[in-house]
Structure 1
Amino acid sequence: MKQTLLLWVGLLGLTPTLQAQTARTATTIAAETPYAADFAEAYRRYSTVPRGMLEAVAYTQTHIRHITAEETESCMGMPLPSGVMGLFANGKGYFRENLQLVAKLSDVSVEAIKTDPRSNILAYAAAYHRLATERKLSAKTPAKHLPVLLALSELPLEKGAVSSFALDSHLYSVLLFLSKAENQQRYGFPDYRLDLGAIFGANFRVLSAGTTQVSERQVQANGQVFNPDGSVSSATTSADYGPALTDLTTCNYSSRSGTAITHYAIHTVQGTYAGCISWFKNCSAQVSAHYVVRSSDGQVTQMVSEANKAWHIGNENPYTIGTEHEGYVNDASWYTTAMYTSSAALARDIVGSGYGINGLRTFYGAATTGTFSTGACVKIKGHQHYPNQTHTDPGVNWNWEKFYTLVNNAPTVSTLTAASGTVYDAGGASANYADDVRQCQLIAPTGATSVSLTFSSFDLESNYDHLLVFNGANNQAPLIGKYSGTTSPGTLTASSGKMFLELRSDCATNRPGFAASWASTGTSSCPTDSYEANETLAASKALGVNVNNTAYICPATDVDWYKFTSTSTNNNLKITLTTLPADYELELYNASGTLLYSSTLAGTSAETITYNGAPAATYYVKVYGYSGATSSTAYTLRVSTQSTAWRAAQSGAIAQASRLNEREPAVVTITNPVEAGASAWLTVSGYDGPADLTLRDTRGQLAKASIHADIKANEPLSYTLPTGLRPGMYVVALQLQTHVEYVKLLVQ
């Protein structure tokens, strides 16, 4: 029985089996970053600069984007950097003006550094080389280059908790970039085997995580005592938001003078996380926000107590809480999933803090470049949405719909499984809907292949209340449409066999709402089981343990998700899928949605996953048909737990193949790089037999459907890539009879 451990988070850290991949060409690198030739020239000229260091600094400062004088000014008055390397010509009396330092050390003019990307990169490299040479540093040991990074940073070199923390945050971001395998592959620099824990000591726990605990005499981060005498930074716990680090500023705030908190404002720094933290401690800046969020991992630092008034939004300061987000409004790459997730968690905490801020009053309209006031009804919104403002952050790249669903992440959903029926707004058939409604309805007729919804009446407050309709089981499915006013949507069709309706109303003006009738097709051929609807991990149904459970994969698009909880006593798990009427597959996930194991035997052979020593936790099981396999006959799923480890049973050809594999491990190679739509040649030595090939990106997302192939040892096999595949690193998984082999594939 094959059992596959897929750790997609760490795939790029796998040891390469291909010599071809290590010989990356300058052409490939150039396709991935517009300044690759300039970085390459800098490394050729200046041998003391560790390869990757320039990209690491540039990514930390600008996401490798040339910042020009036309960049939008920060709403906090924070000075803007220049160029790809993010150098400061004007520190506004607080930041060090490192552009002048770089110009002096490199003998390149200030104007050229500010305006020309190539000069910007080469001048920084020259300055770096000069400082590294003076310190007799080797390019092979970037961990020893921290003094150079500090010397070339714009951050003030001051003692004290906040200044030290800002500096450490900058260094941590640079070295973290160098330590990531995907960056090493993309930009062509070696693995320096950086031990960030050893480099930053006790502060590593503070820099890499968002929780600290403070007592009168000591600080702890993730259970480790923090020693300020042995470190260059310090942090304390937030009394307002538990996961936030606290670096409360001693200036740039004032009393709210009794004004109640009623709103929450989203800002963009127009700079870096470390720079923003440092800037808020500059008493001459006369600006601050309550929180700052880091782009890379969503770490939150609190700068002003919520009880006090931060200075972030002019006349609207007395009644608002404000959060700055690292990055630039013109560059969407800073608005990462980690940032959205962390920022939404912070917003949910504020919603639950007793201020009367309703999460349903989060702005979810279109992102724009300009300013406009939404009115007081919308409580959680951008700087650009408040009255009397000139700044446009967070701007056109902030995904408000995504942020709304993350803030309001636990809606109540009514599921309708009949083949046909009628739906109404939250007011029912005759009454108006109320204020602050979020009504979610899932139309999921059992076995349906298509659902159509025809409106007989429709009347929502125009431009303020909306009905969103999705082609699928939840609000992450493709949007069919967003409707408001009195124009009927007519007849809508969900080709997935499921339709998700979400009604949102604001704080005032109730209307009659809507009435609509649905019909479905394809519902008669599939039997009903008690677990439906369970098409997503979030909709998983509880599974009985140590008992047989029966259900159906019907229709062909059906996917079944289940969940169960293991204990620390019976922590050895065996999941079996038997009495298969068709070719079904079995997968096991953790609570984070990471695929742990899979069993994908061909045909109707029983599938088995064994996980011995599993931590006590909630796990998720996924059952689906291979290539649309379906049947109206039930399968049997059983989760068995026991205190002793399970032994994997082997017999016949599989056992023999396993023994052969132990004597001669399979080795997989593939030609690299390859263009989208072209064919790569894959060769397997030490193995003859069937295999299933699957292509996924580095996040584990499927890039090409699984194909079956018969492998002949040492004979090249043509593997054609989909056209339109985006350039980058991918992973080919080969499911052999006994195990899975992985090989990395670079698409250019």
Structure 2
Amino acid sequence: MKTTLLIWAGLLCLTPTAMAQTAPRLAATSAVGAETPYAADFAEAYRRYPVIPRGMLEAVAYTQTHIRHIDATEPASCTGMPQAAGVMGLFADGKGYFRENLKLVARLSDVSVEQIKTDPHSNILAYAAAYARLVNERNLSGADPARHLPILIELSELPLAKDAVSNFALDSHLYSVLSFLNKAENQQQYHFPSYNLDLRAIFGANFRVLSAGAAQVSDRSVEADGQTFDPGSSTYARVNSTNYGPAISDFTTCNYSSRNGVAVTHYAIHTVQGTYAGCISWFKNCSSNVSAHYVIRSSDGQVTQMVSEANKAWHIGNENPYTIGTEHEGYVNDASWYTTAMYNSSADLARDITVSGYGISGLRTFYGAATTGTFSTGACVKIKGHQHYPNQTHTDPGVNWNWERFYKLINNAPTVSTLTATSGSVYDSGGPSANYGDDVRQCQLISPSGATSIKLTFSAFDLESGYDHLFVYDGSNANAPLIGKYSGTTSPGTLTATSGKMFLELRSDCATTRPGFAATWTATMPTTTSCPTDSYEANETLSAGKFIGVNVNNSAYVCPAGDNDWYYFNSSSTNNNIKLTLTNLPFDYELELYNASGALLYSSTNPSTNSETIIYNGAPAATYYVRVYGYNGATSNTTAYTLRVSTQSVAWRQAPAGDGSAVAARLSPTAPTQPVVTITNPVEAGTKAWLTVSGYDGPAELVLRDSQGQPIGSATQAEIASEQPLGYSLPAGLRPGVYIVTLQLSKHVEYVKLLVR
């Protein structure tokens, strides 16, 4: 047994660490079907964000747009319904009804709203980035799409309401997405595994209504096949508790009373001075005479609801009638209890309260310095600590609670005005002559393209001292390094952002306004270097690609930065074996082959200045397109690359296993005396790996084995023709990793390593 294990270890020669280091730069060598729109963009999204279950992005896109880019030319609906945008069907303007999920995606992905609306690639990648961020925040597994329903709900545009019709609409959306994932034809076309989702179990009693051929909707109910849709059993209701979505309901039967008609106007933050479990237990002790509406756990941010928001919890003395209170596990003198998970969960809860009809604005969150004592902030501040209410002796959440961080998490989707000119003037929300208003959060980003630094000089400055503030950051948002926080009448003078971007944030309270500020900015721009004359320009898009002949060298420059060079050529039915080479590279350049429909067929992405090579044996006679570009915007105005398209009547030999390019060298005119086996690497589960044997003709038995040498599935019988590629189908549910393919060639056995991603 020890000998067998050593043999397999020697064949693999890849440690998990080595795989993690090399995988991001491996090439995608398997062909993508022309019938799959935006396949390259979806593939890139899954490579970047492996926590997203494969197929989920296509499922959402198909449900929303049938995987079609919706742009501004799309005719408006005769119903007046707002227009979706892009491949993922996101809403920028909800018309006061739909949630504006495009803005949410823009915030979570740090991609501009305009770019997401207009560019299909950005639309898909931004949605994927937002999805992955939410998955990571909730520590969800990427293996089970059914566990991702809260993510789909959060990223949907559909309203979140507790009535039957709204819940039915949202469940219908989720049902469509999961049904897409359950269809075998989709699994085959879009190359994702069978998840075997049990839709009856997921949707419970409402499955019959959701799967019915027709449903009857009134203003209060939904019916189908004689069954009424139960909003209390809907997916949204099961993901959400009575008052707050993610909370676990563990209501106490005592320690609360009626509000007696007093309206909720404030929200209080507490620290337990103990454990999560202990607090829950204590609140259910009817002798304790104390409670709060919610309790949050430190380790993962889990929320338990103890008292309905409609009732008065007993947490803050005389201030109970008009407050909602939340206890946070931990102790005020130990900052380690205030975890990122707790902050995020607590802010989510607070944000939910701000949109629950109480009139509590997130802008009224306390953001001053944390302190050890007690002091009253006054009625203007609506979301604050126990220590900030009048007539209190408790000092929680205390000196270790980060109020500025909490404010930003609650108010996490500000409207940002972006200024891209290299110079100009900037003012508060009142403009050059009027005062700014109450309850203002004005965010402005000065971001000229390519700027190396920004200098901002103030000519006027007058804010209500100690209450209204201007924050200036060196970067693109309010999480960038803080240059300064300014209030009163002392001018900040001249400020410099060395990042090339400057973010300004004005906050005002609920009373007393002032003239505000006026300032001018100038940007330092890099010295531009001209690009050499390139006879193929302009060829930045597939439709503008320039014709090149075969079996000749073509030279051009990737210049300026971000340049994309497109070409096209024709292959014949006799010389239908194609090889593309990209050589003489000054930096890391990449090579891609497309068909005339714009579908990516092959790519070669070797690191550094290594040459790129693509082989497509047996290509149909057709017009093909080639794209050359610099990795991470690499460019050169001094060295031209060389692109060559070669065709011949015999097949080219495929790349050896582990090579980062799509292909390798031309066949040797003399067959080797010992059979040589090569296979495309890496490949994806459910697709074909193209295997070539040199120096052997005849029958073969192929067996796929795991890293321990154990067979996976049954053996495959094949007829080998020397030098002719053979498609070897892989199981759809194969896990990513390193495998071994064994070939029994007559009386000789060959081993070849296969990397599945």
Relative to the length of structure 2, the TM-score reads 0.45
Bigger-Rg structure (1/2) = 2
Relative to the length of structure 1, the TM-score reads 0.45
